[in-house]
Amino acid sequence: MLGDELGRVWAVDPDLGENSRISFELKGQSAFRIDSSGKIILNQPLDRENTPFYQFVAVAFDHGKNPGPRSASATVTVHVCA
């Protein structure tokens, strides 16, 4: 259902202050969105007959200034069931 949580990605940064803040984004996907806690949320209805699964990349990045922001990514696959 629209707005439902489908899963969550998690990241940690041992820095302090602003350098430890983590943000998330999804690459190559509009059927889902990700919130500031890493929760992956359904953004639009899914049609299993047209698209039996979705695959996209979730990226977590910190807000470090020196030596600069760092990121990590994970490939996420969502299988659509009846």
Tell which CATH classification among 2.40.160.40, 3.10.20.590, 3.40.50.2300, 2.60.40.60 matches the domain 5-79: 2.60.40.60
Peptide bond into 52 cis (omega under 30): no
- What's the pLDDT score for residue 29? 78
- What average pLDDT is seen over the chain? 90
- Among 50, 28, 29, 37, smallest CA distance to 5 is for 37
> How far is residue 63 from each of residues 15, 23, 53, measured CA to CA in Å?
10, 8, 32
| Predicted structure pTM score | 0.83
Report whether pLDDT(40) > 80: yes
* Residue 48 confidence class, pLDDT cut points 50, 70, 90: very high
CA atoms 25, 30, 3, 46: torsion sign: negative
pLDDT in tens, 55-78: 999 999 988 877 777 899 999 999
